[in-house]
Structure 1
Amino acid sequence: MGAGAGFSLMGRFRVVTENTVFAMPEPQIGLFPDVGASYFLSRLQGFFGEYMGLTGTKMGGAEMLASGLATHFVSSKNLEKLEESLNNVETDDERVIHKIINQYSENPPLIEGSPLLRIDSINKFFSKGSVEEIVASLEQESIEDKDNWIYTTIQAIKNASPASLKIFLRSIREGRKQTYKKCIEREHIMLSHVIRRTISGDLYEGIAAKFLDKTGCPKWDPPSLEEVTNEMVDKCFKDLKEDEDWPPLNLPSKTDSIALAYGL
């Protein structure tokens, strides 16, 4: 989850099992999905990335495989055999490694209730231009459709930091048109602003409420989506070059070629 997911997704071979759980729940603690999330989430089918980032929904191993976030699904009972087979390899030839992992790989079906089976509905709601419009469309649908999925989706969004939600939506929309390197560099700027409390101290409030005080009820500031203006969000994307205490992130020029080679 979170940073761990970002590191793992840079692997050439991303092996999951029936025990794997993936999520980017940062808005629930006043942050936003980073570590390249605006790149890899924006490249999921339709607007599934917006759904994952705004709701913090958990995804299992089978869903990761189906979505493309994982390259292989291996039953946990076969992990030791797979590891033993890989330990006996004396080459770094990707084709050889791929062939070995394939010997233990499966293609499990999606479980009933998987959000991937609701991709049409997700595209309908999460393609909207703003978080307010997304929520409004879900609430309008809930009047006629009492589906519990709609209710839990609305609640997940409303429990998150309004500022974080708006920052993330802009981030993933920009990420669709940017390279991996550009996404990482931009997210570094955004994270710097969050740490500096440029528009909100929600990160500190969220961590305290979730992990320190454990009240589970953070008091977000601003408290509503309507109070988070476009001008406020703009500030979180403003370069910090003029501040010597917050130098820009300088990644190797080969970063994008690595991302493409790894299928991201």
Structure 2
Amino acid sequence: MASSKQSNGFDDQVLIEENSYVRTLSLNRPRQLNALSSQMIDQLLKMFIAYEEDSDVKLVIMKGKGRAFCAGGDVAAVAHNVTDGHWSYGANFFWNEFILNYIIATYRKTQVSILNGIVMGGGAGVSIHGRFRVATENADFAMPETALGLFPDIGASYFLSRLPGFFGEYAGLSGARLDGAEMLACGLATHFVFSSRLPALEEALHKVDIADPAAICAVIDEFSQRAPLKEKSAYHRLDTIDRCFSKKTVEEILSALEQEAVKGADEWIATTIQSLKKASPTSLKISLRSIREGRLQSIDQCLIREYRMCCHVLRRDVSKDFFEGCRALLLDKDKNPKWEPSKLEMVSDEMVDKYFYKVDDEEWQDLNIPFRRTAISLRSKL
């Protein structure tokens, strides 16, 4: 017997449905493309913790209302709160979001995320860290933070650095959009199911009465199928991506791409070069270093480091690009951010280093990762 519960307050931003041993959490801000508000993050934290301790819950399903799963964290609200108040208001948002990401990455119960639409930024944080990610033909994935003056956070330096070759550097620096077939090919998605079959898949999952991931996977397998890559897919360019994005610096990456462009007209290379040149130079440099460090770090280490980086961004210690990006892309929408520093060569190694140091503030502390009895490595999920 299915029953529905609405979240307590917050304009029902998270809807809860109970089906026997299954709980379905639906992100419910369709007009905002289900961007995560602080209230939604608090609610999700509460529910994930409660379900993990509830023996009656065997499976958690996450999905989004409307045409998006989740377009990311509500960074416009974060920037507004910091501008009107103190940088720590934004730090508190990222603190709770990153704790939620860690709990999902180490969750003892199975999570199935249905990615039938836009999946960006914070939306990846509440899905990619989970065990099963079901993409459809409508899936539209991106980590667009460098265009906003930020960097791929929410533990992205962990999962991006573990994609094939240097595909993670490509996706993280360029903000490239990937469809469902590309998500499946690179490992961001575990299954591909056409949207027309989602109602039947959900009905089958609602009948799950055991917590065994293999059994749940078998249910999804019945509805999943191969997803052929489009002819112009970036995933066909892995050799070129590896040649270019394996370079040590952003300047060298851009130079390598421009050398590839000289060999012949290529729309993909031209688009990639344009994306890098439009992005914040500071964001590009800290993003590359973050992803490279992520290769050698655990998920908790990545989140702790990324939290430090976020706090430096909010404090405007080195650059104000995040606030300028929010202005240009989300508020005024003139799409013409004035980055400062404005060129890659003006962003020194010393400036980049500052993002990775502890914050010099007596009231500040590193992200306090909660003790988990069973910390399942995300490596086994990707």
| Distance in 2 separating the partners of 1:76 and 1:141 | 37
Counterpart AA for 2:228: P
1 CA distance for matches of 2:372 and 2:264? 49
> Residues 113-141 of structure 1, C-alpha deviation per residue, up to 9 Å, x if partnerless?
11110000000010100000111111122
SS class of match (2:192) = strand
TM-score, structure 2 as length reference: 0.67
> What residue number does 2:217 align with?
98
Alignment of 1:183-198 (within 5 A): 183-198=302-317
Three-state SS of the structure 2 residue aligned to 1:243 is coil
Q: How many residues align?
A: 263
Rounded to whole Å, the distance in 1 between the matches of 2:160 and 2:374 is: 16
* Residue in 1 that maps onto 2:369: 251
| Alpha-carbon distance, 1:244 to partner | 3.4
What's the secondary structure of 2:261's corresponding residue? helix
Q: How far does residue 257 in structure 1 lie from its aligned partner after superposition?
A: 2.8
Of stretches 143-152 and 130-139 in structure 1, the one that deviates more from structure 2 is 143-152
1:108 aligns with 2:219: no
Give the deviation of 1:147 after TM superposition.
Answer: 1.1
1:70 paired to 2:189: yes
Q: For the residues of structure 2 that align with 1:65 and 1:133, how far apart are their CA atoms? A: 29
Assess if the C-alpha contact under 8 Å between 2:140 and 2:180 holds in 1. yes
Query: For 1:42 and 1:261, how far apart are their aligned partners in 2?
Result: 11
2:254–2:273 Cα contact (<8 Å) kept:
yes
1:201 and 1:213 mapped to 2: Cα distance? 16
Q: Distance in 2 between matches of 1:167 and 1:110?
A: 31
Q: How does 1:22-41 map to 2 (within 5 A)?
A: 22-41=141-160
Amino acid in structure 1 at the alignment position of 2:365:
P
Q: Cα offset for 1:88? A: 1.4
**2: distance between equivalents of 1:197 and 1:243?**
14
Matching of residue 9 in structure 1 with residue 128 in structure 2: yes
**1:131 matches 2:250:** yes
Greater percentage in helix: 1
TM-score when normalising by structure 1: 0.96
For residues 72 and 59 of structure 1, do their structure 2 counterparts lie closer, same or farther at Cα, with a shift above 3 Å needed?
Answer: same
> 2:333 matched to 1:214?
yes
| Equivalent position to 2:318, from 168, 190, 199 | 199
How far apart are the structure 2 equivalents of 1:144 and 1:9?
Answer: 36
Is structure 2 residue 180 aligned with structure 1 residue 180? Answer: no
CA positional deviation for 1:209: 0.3
Listed one character per residue, the Cα deviations across residues 53-102 of structure 1 (whole Å, up to 9, x for unaligned) are 11100001111111111111111001000111111122222122111111
Q: Which has the higher contact order (CA 8 A, sep 6+)?
A: 1
Which shows bigger deviation, 219-228 or 248-257? 248-257
User: Are the aligned partners of 1:28 and 1:206 in contact in 2 as well (CA < 8 Å)?
Assistant: yes
CA contact (8 A) 1:181 1:256 kept: no
Note the residue ranges of structure 1 that are not aligned, 5 or more in a row.
none
How far does residue 174 in structure 1 lie from its aligned partner after superposition?
A: 0.5
Alpha-carbon distance change, 167 to 91 in structure 1, aligned in 2, over 3 angstroms: same
Alpha-carbon contact 2:328-2:336 (below 8 Å) kept:
yes
Q: 2: distance between equivalents of 1:137 and 1:229?
A: 20
Which residue in 1 is equivalent to 2:351?
Answer: 232
Question: Unaligned regions of 5+ residues in structure 2, if any?
Answer: 1-119
Counterpart of 2:364, as a letter, is W
Which runs of structure 1 show a deviation greater than 4 angstroms over 4 or more consecutive aligned residues? none
Residues 193 and 225 of structure 2 are in contact (CA less than 8 Å); yes or no, is this contact kept in structure 1?
Answer: yes
In structure 2, relative to structure 1, the CA distance for the partners of 1:174 and 1:96 (3 Å cut) is same
- Asked whether the 8 Å contact 1:192–1:246 carries over to 2, the reply is no
142 and 226 in structure 1: CA distance in 2 versus 1, 3 angstrom threshold: same
Match of 1:144 in 2: 263
% identical aligned pairs = 56
Task: Look up the match of 1:59.
Answer: 178
Provide the residue aligned with 2:41 in structure 1. none
Secondary structure, counterpart of 1:249 in structure 2: coil
CA drift at 1:155: 0.4
8 Å CA contact 1:181, 1:255 repeated in 2: no
